[in-house]
Structure 1
């Protein structure tokens, strides 16, 4: 016997809670990395560059983050101006340069992780692993349902 899907009111309540938590996370992140000259947005982009398996153009970074390309470009330009990332020629595209971490960027990113790890470990102690796994499944389902290729975006 399959369970019925949640009501639209239940899902809306979840989404509103998600908005509130997202805002709290961004504020928390801003405070955490402010001493490093970062914001949550800059830290997110820096992380996308750091964790990419190979240098990527801005459009790929934006796609990886689920973010607007123009916003990511603005942040990358700021990070480049501050010497945190650098641009590298892209052998596959003349205009879409690749974004790489500079030595300063690696240092700043490692410093951000050093600030983050003990705090996230403290938060994790209050969440049961099975609850975190369930939340991740829900968020993955929402992300899949909200992808531009999904009919849920246009369905009545």
Structure 2
């Protein structure tokens, strides 16, 4: 690994650490949504007709048992409800409840205020460049991860 690649890896570790600390801070200050479940709740919300747990597992790249526990927590907390699947009476879909919508909106406002604070002294061009670069890096790293897993599975 060359020096520039090493620097990127170190910054990525720093970002993961700060993200973890932000999640814990949000949970301590605003515990309406358990730590680590905001993204899952948001994905369920983006699926207007309801979301199956298996789709959620695929989207989040998590084991179905992990999703099952997360969904059980969201349901117990009243943030998500299981409703009959209109296309398959044997299955259920997950939908965000009114309480879930309110909690998610509050969490997004909280995260948004932290991001706005972090970017307060950045120019619009710096923000746009960073957003573009982060998107490009995330897609490239995701592609590298997918191709690495596929290569290992084929071996």
* TM-score, reference length from structure 2: 0.78
Q: Give the structure 2 partner of residue 19 of structure 1.
A: 13
Q: Which runs of 5+ in 1 are unaligned?
A: 1-6
Deviates more, 1:66-75 or 1:136-145: 66-75
Q: Give the structure 2 partner of residue 146 of structure 1.
A: 145
Q: Give the structure 1 partner of residue 131 of structure 2.
A: 132
Provide closer, same or farther for how the CA distance between residues 95 and 23 of structure 1 changes in structure 2, counting only shifts above 3 A.
farther
Q: Give the structure 2 partner of residue 4 of structure 1.
A: none
Residue 36 of structure 2 corresponds to residue 41 of structure 1: yes
Offset of 1:155 from its aligned partner?
Answer: 9.1
Deviates more, 1:92-101 or 1:38-47: 92-101
The one of 39, 46, 61 aligned to 1:51: 46
Q: How many residues align?
A: 150
Preserved contact between residue 36 and residue 112 of structure 1 (Cα < 8 Å)? no
Provide closer, same or farther for how the CA distance between residues 71 and 113 of structure 1 changes in structure 2, counting only shifts above 3 A.
same
Provide closer, same or farther for how the CA distance between residues 71 and 12 of structure 1 changes in structure 2, counting only shifts above 3 A.
farther
Offset of 1:36 from its aligned partner?
Answer: 2.9
Q: Give the structure 1 partner of residue 78 of structure 2.
A: 83
Secondary structure of 1:36's aligned partner: coil
**CA RMSD of superposed structures (Å):** 2.9
Offset of 1:84 from its aligned partner?
Answer: 0.8
Preserved contact between residue 33 and residue 104 of structure 2 (Cα < 8 Å)? no
Preserved contact between residue 26 and residue 40 of structure 1 (Cα < 8 Å)? no
Preserved contact between residue 26 and residue 110 of structure 2 (Cα < 8 Å)? yes
